[in-house]
Structures are given as structure tokens and as C-alpha cells.
Amino acid sequence: MPVLDQQKDTSADRLDEALSRLNEAQRDAVLHAGNAPLLIVAGAGSGKTSTLAHRVACLIAKGADPQRLLLLTFSRRAAQEMSQRAGHVLAQVLGLGSQTPPALPWAGTFHGVGARLLRDYAVQIGLAENFTIHDRGDAEDLMGLVRHDLGFTGTEKRFPLKSTCLAIYSRVVNTQGGLAQVLAEAFPWCAEWEAQLRQLFGAYVEAKQEQNVLDYDDLLLGWHEMMGEPSLAAQLSGRFDHVLVDEYQDTNRLQASILQRLKPDGRGLTAVGDDAQSIYSFRGATVRNILDFPSQFGQLGSAARIVTLERNYRSTQPILDVSNTLIAAAGERHAKRLWTDKPSAGRPQLVLVPDEAQQARWVADKVLAHREGGLRLKSQAVLFRSSSHSAALELELARRNIPFVKFGGLKFLEASHVKDLLALLRFAQNPKGRQAGFRVVQLLAGVGPATAARLLDAMDESNDPAQTLQAFAPPAAAREQWSDFAATYASLRSGQAAWPADAELALRWYLPHLERLHEDAAVRRADVEQLVRLAAGYASRESFLTELTLDPPEATSDRAGPPLLDDDYLILSTIHSAKGQEWTSVHVLNVVDGCIPADLSTGSNEEIEEERRLLYVAMTRAKDHLHLLVPQRFYVTQQSAHGDRHLYAGRTRFIAAQDVKAFEEVVWPPPPERPPAVPAPQAAIDLRNRLRAVWR
Ligand code: ATP
Ligand code: MG
């Protein structure tokens, strides 16, 4: 008994010690107990995510079962980071030394957790367990097919594009609004097509069901529907004692509604967010979720507890000053002014450069200068509004051999050869998935859409799709390749080869096709081999396909080498993908009107305000050095009644003339100095006289 007591004391001491590093408000939030739901609403860098990680660790240290904690974050990367942070604190508190702390099996994104629950409960909700998931590209393609089948492509007036149709559909689902309302608010130019769109969406849903596929929105919608059935809701709610959500400002109505069904009285619920950083309303996220939290969750049970944090631990005061000024001009928001005791003499820089090429040069120079000064490349980041803005910089970095990794750019999975290989695995997983099937079968020489459709119809009706494929009479040109294809498919279907051997088998089948179809096969081959290497990190084909679709590898690295071979590299990232992160030095490219805010003429007031918050997010990523780049010659396209016009951009409207003085202004290259006046030299010889003298 005394031993136990002693242990208890030491672990309590260790907990106290871990908590002593937090400030009082943070500690309050970590230790919050009782029935009331908890909302932490606070500014950038004030330790919201740290507080959440400490709370998780503290709950477990006090006996909560990690299996019964649901932790929802914005990306899988964020979930991993959070697990690490919590694990670190936990290891300390439990005195684990080098032992691994307990894992958090239910840490992930809303979509990832949704997918897992739908598969777990597939039988009870009438889904086939082997459903596959369409990414946005697949979903658009299917929408396009259905749109074509319904004859909407041949309409006299142009029917909305497939991407627009999917965006409308997705917005209806995620905002839980009616179609008419969504059209009026966000797509007024499509309002005349309401009846046709309704028909299209109905057919789209049927097509997905026939193919046994779900799209991203279905993962949330399905979870939400499950929670609408009392018996399932009771089971699911009973599974989790605590539900903790980071970045709550970027959740949408549907996600809030899922939470409400999960924890109707708010008991055990913790949400964390910053209204000033809401940057996803274009995807249906609503900052109202944060504003309405107290009334939504605090009513049935105890009134919600709200904790605010104003002390910033990330940035220097001069960086906070310019960030505070920027956001103070925003419209509706929780007023908060961040402060820090990290003083600094250095002001953030506003750097005027002639154009994008010079911008790239300046940034590369500065990055190297910082490295000379002892800053690793990894603690430096270059952020930009849209992925294409880093093109000039990427060239410059490659030229100078500065390794970098880019987040939020073209996804690895969007490359057609990577899609081919994945399609084969998907088709084996779910023979009803027509998109995947169509893609794979047409890789064979001599197989076109008509043959592919005939084969897929036959397989669809068969009890043994692999056998049907084997027995199918292909066109003459494909006959030779057919038996190999059929054998590979049969083997993948039978599950003879264990995972990840499956992936290698698929690769072996695909490589000859890759060689035949692409002139640059060697470069592409490296990608598909990389995909197979990735496969080894997953437990099964199903988990590989699901996770990859839900959270594709975000980073594409410099093509010069496979990702992450260099142990130090510069981070390039879109601002959206930089959420929640921090670096010692941050460069923001193209801080000009037309870029931030992105559109000069069509943006509504709300959209422009979202752009302001985006710049705020970018600026508040910096710890010690912030450099905003303003290229003087930066063309932006403005749509006008007379067609597109190209304009010179100027410094972003979000930094007003009177606010510039808070920055150190740098003009580069510096204006040429006048050469000092050189006094006329005294002639050493009198040449003219000598030349004349020759003839005297
Ligand atoms: P964002 O709004 O950008 O997501 P955040 O509020 O989640 O930011 P964190 O990322 O949790 O902030 O913390 C910012 C930085 O401050 C981190 O480096 C963290 O380690 C540090 N920090 C947080 N709380 C404290 C504290 N009490 N003492 C010292 N450092 C702290
Ligand atoms: Mg955070």
C-alpha cells in the first residue's frame, strides 16, 4: 500500500510539473472536469493545440481509456502531431522513460473517422463492407458521366460544368442547406437549372450506390445519418467518453451536427478554435459553429465553459503588432489582442522587388543567409496563396541546389500513371467500381469504351467477377494480353498474395503497359515504385486505399531526388496547408492585390474578409522573422464587362499606407547610387601637342 501511495505521489508530482509549464488559463482548460462542454477560443499561437494535447495526456494519466477518446483534427498530419505531443507529455507524467506511451487509436480527421465507422457498422446500415472511396477527381468524373447520360451536355444554353455541379452538390450536403438556398447564395448563375440539378444529383447518388462507392461527402453524411438512428446513436455515443476537436472554426454545419448527435448535452466535449483564422468557408465551413457553441451544447446540460487565451508564445512582439493591426480591421469577430513577452528589435520586413524572378532570387538569398546564421532549412518556410505561385521559386531553388518539400501542390495521386495502378487495386477490391474498372481495362491495347462497358456489365451481373473476366472474349488486338490480365485480376481478387505483395503483383502487371503508353516511362516508373513502397506501410489493401484517398501524401518534393532523402529541406506550402504550424522564419510571396485578396473584382465582401484572415494565418506562422514580398510587376487578370484585362498589382489593400511604418521597408535591388564625381586627371603627357610635333 505505501508503495502504491508513493507511486501515486510521484505521478501526481510529475503531472503537476507538466502542468506548471502552462499558464493559468491553459491549466484551467486542461483540468476542466464535470459535465459542462468546454470551448477554448483564442488567437494564433496562444497554445490551443498544446492545451488540447495536455488535456488528452492528463485525461489518460487520470485513468481515461485511450480507446474511448475521440480526437478530431483537420488533417492526418495534424492528428499525428497531436498524438506525438500528447504522447510526449504522457510519457513524462507516467514516468515511462524511453517506453512508448499508449497510442491514440481514434485520432484522425472527421472524414477518416467517418470512413472507419461506416465500415465497422456496414452490415447494420446496409452498406457492402468493401466499398471504395472516390476522391474529388473520381467524383467529378462520375458526375460528368451522369450529366452526359441525362443529356444535359447537349443543352442549348450551357449547363454548369461537372466541377461546378459537384461543388453545388457538396455545398448542399455540407451546409445542410436546401438546393434552392445554396443556388441563390453561392451559385446564382446556375439557379435556372434547379430542376435539372436535382434530377442530376438524384441520379448521381444512384450511380454511386450501384457501384458500391462513397464520395468524401458521403463519409460525413453517412456518419450523420447513422447518428440519426437512436439505437446506433446510443452505441456510438457510448463508445467515446471524450470528444476533442481542434480548429473548430473550420468545421461545417454537418460536422457540428454530427458532434451534436454524438454528445447532445455537450458532456465530454472539448472544442478549440480561433474565429480570426477561419479560412475554409469556400468549402462550407462556418465560423458560426464557434460562435453558436454555447447555445448548441450548453443548453441541455450545464452551461458551456469558455476559456480564452491571449498570451502568444510563438511570435515576437513586432510580428504580433502587424498581425493584430491586420485583423483589427476585420468585421465580425471575437475581439482579442495578442501579447507576448518575446520582445525584439527587428521589425517584420516588407520587401519590394521588381518582379517574380527577382522575388525568387531574394528569397533564396535570404534563406541561405538565415542558414549561415544557424537556422536550419526546416525551420524556414515560404508560403503562398495558390500552389502555382511558387513556380519561379522552385526553379531558383533547384538551380541553387537548395532542397525543398512542397505541401498543398499537385498531388502525387493526381498523376495519371499513379491513378492507373491504384485503379487496378481498387477494381480488385470492388469489382462494381466502374470508374476504376473503366480505367484499367482500357489500358489494354485494343480495348475501348464499348468493350469496357460490355465487360463491366457482364461482371456486374456475375457472382464470380474474376471468372467472368477470364471467360470474356476480348477484341482480337487484346487477346494476347488478356490471359495475363485475367490471371493477375484473379490473383488479386482471391487474396492469395498477402498485402503488400498484392501491390507488387499489380506493379508487375502494369509496368509493360506503362512502357508502351508513355515516352517518359522511366520518370513515371519511379512514382509507381514509390507507391508500392508506400503500400508496405499499411496493414491491408483496404486500409491503404481508404487512407490514401482520404489523406493523400501532400508533399511533392524537388524532382531531383526521392522525398526526404536530404535530412534538411526548406518548406514550401500554400497558406491553407500551413494551418496550425510554425517556423522560425516565414516568407510570404506575392503580397499584392489580386493575389491576397485573390480576386480583384468578383469577390464579395465575405470572400475578401476571408482573404484577410488568410494573410493573418500566414503572418502568425512566424516566430522570429517575417518577410512579406511585394513584386512591383505582377500581372493579375481582372474580369470586366469587356473581357479580361491585365493589370499591374500593388501592395495588398490589407496593409494600409499608415501601417507600413510598423515594417522595415526593403527595396531590392537598391536604387543605383550616383557614381562619385571623378576629378579630371592631370594629363601626364600632352598627346595632342606630341602628335603635332611629329610634323614639325
Ligand atoms: P494556432 O492558432 O496557430 O493553431 P495554437 O494556439 O494552437 O496556434 P500552439 O501551436 O499550441 O498554438 O502553440 C504555439 C507555440 O507556443 C508552440 O511552440 C508551443 O510549444 C508554445 N507554447 C504554448 N503554450 C506554452 C506555454 N505555456 N509556455 C511556453 N510555450 C508555450
Ligand atoms: Mg493550433
pLDDT attached to residue 598: 82
- What average pLDDT does range 554-567 have in this prediction? 46
pLDDT attached to residue 128: 92
What is the per-residue DSSP string for 438-457?
A: HHHHTTSTT--HHHHHHHHH
Q: Label residue 556 by pLDDT band (50, 70, 90).
A: very low
pLDDT attached to residue 645: 57
Question: What fold does the segment set 3-114+220-309 form as a domain?
Answer: Rossmann fold (3.40.50)
- R_g (Cα) of the chain, nearest Å: 30
**What are the sequence ranges of the domains in the chain?**
3-114+220-309, 132-211, 317-410+564-667, 412-543
Counting residues of the chain whose pLDDT is more than 90, the rounded percentage is 57
Ligand 2 centroid distance, CA of 569 (Å): 23
Only one residue has cell 485525461, namely 59
CA quadruple 118, 288, 333, 408: dihedral, nearest 10 = 30
pLDDT attached to residue 561: 36
pLDDT attached to residue 636: 63
Residue of 417, 472, 413, 466 whose CA lies nearest to 439: 417
Counting residues of the chain whose pLDDT is more than 70, the rounded percentage is 92
pLDDT attached to residue 110: 94
Ligand 2 centroid distance, CA of 342 (Å): 19
- What average pLDDT does range 272-283 have in this prediction? 88
Gap between the Cα atoms of 153 and 594, Å rounded: 33
Residue of 590, 104, 190 whose CA lies nearest to 391: 590
Gap between the Cα atoms of 419 and 214, Å rounded: 18
- What average pLDDT does range 177-204 have in this prediction? 94
Q: Which letter, b or e, does each residue of 658-681 get, where b requires 16 or more Cβ atoms within 10 Å of its Cβ?
A: eeeebbeebebeeeeeeeeeeeee
Substitution site in 21, 23, 49, 312 for ligand 1 pocket (most atoms within 8 Å of beta carbon): 49
Look at residue 3 and tell me whether its pLDDT is greater than 60.
Answer: no
Taking phi over 0 as left and psi of -120 to 50 as alpha, with beta for the rest, 463 belongs to: alpha
Domain covering 412-543 in this structure, CATH number: 1.10.486.10
Q: What is the pLDDT of residues 329-360, one digit of tens each?
A: 887 666 677 889 988 879 999 999 998 889 99
Strands in 69-73's sheet, in edge-to-edge order, are 107-109, 69-73, 242-245, 269-273, 38-42, 305-309
pLDDT attached to residue 557: 40
Look at residue 560 and tell me whether its pLDDT is greater than 70.
Answer: no
Which has the minimum average pLDDT: 157-161, 162-166, 682-686? 682-686
**Are 3-114+220-309 and 412-543 in the same CATH fold?**
no
- What average pLDDT does range 301-330 have in this prediction? 92
Q: Which atom of ligand 1 is nearest to the CA of 621?
A: 3
- According to DSSP, residue 134 is labeled E
Task: Give strand pairing partners of 587.
Answer: 382, 627
Gap between the Cα atoms of 36 and 139, Å rounded: 40
Pairing of strands 305-309, 269-273: unpaired
- What average pLDDT does range 254-260 have in this prediction? 95
Ligand 1 centroid distance, CA of 686 (Å): 77
Q: What is the pLDDT of residues 647-672, one digit of tens each?
A: 677 899 999 999 999 999 999 887 77
Structure-block grid coordinates of residue 682: 592631370
Ligand 1 centroid distance, CA of 605 (Å): 31
Residue of 305, 216, 223 whose CA lies nearest to 35: 305
| Nearest residue (CA) to ligand 1, atom 9 | 47
Gap between the Cα atoms of 132 and 432, Å rounded: 10
Ligand 1 centroid distance, CA of 129 (Å): 41
Which has more pLDDT, 596 or 598? Answer: 596
Q: Label residue 524 by pLDDT band (50, 70, 90).
A: confident
Gap between the Cα atoms of 93 and 11, Å rounded: 6
pLDDT attached to residue 664: 97
Cβ neighbors of 464 (< 8 A, separation 6 or more) are none
CB 414 within 8 Å of CB 113:
no
Reported in sequence order, the residue ranges of 324-388 that DSSP labels E, i.e. its strands, are 349-353, 380-384
Task: Give strand pairing partners of 108.
Answer: 72
pLDDT attached to residue 119: 94
pTM as predicted: 0.82
- Ligand 1 proximal residues by C-beta, below 6 Å: 21-23, 26, 42, 44-50, 274, 277, 313-314, 580, 582
Q: How long, in residues, is the chain?
A: 696
Domain at 317-410+564-667, CATH from 3.40.50.10420, 3.30.470.10, 3.40.50.300, 1.20.1280.290: 3.40.50.300
Q: Which atom of ligand 1 is nearest to the CA of 620?
A: 3
For 382, half-sphere exposure in the C-beta direction (CA atoms, 13 angstrom radius) is 31
CB 233 within 8 Å of CB 226:
yes
Range 562-567 contact pairs with CB under 8 angstroms and sequence separation of 24 or more: 562/526, 562/530, 563/405, 564/405, 566/403
Q: HEC string of 243-308?
A: EEECCHHHCEHHHHHHHHHHCCCCCCEEEEECHHHCCCHHHCECCHHHHHHHHHHCCCCCCCEEEE
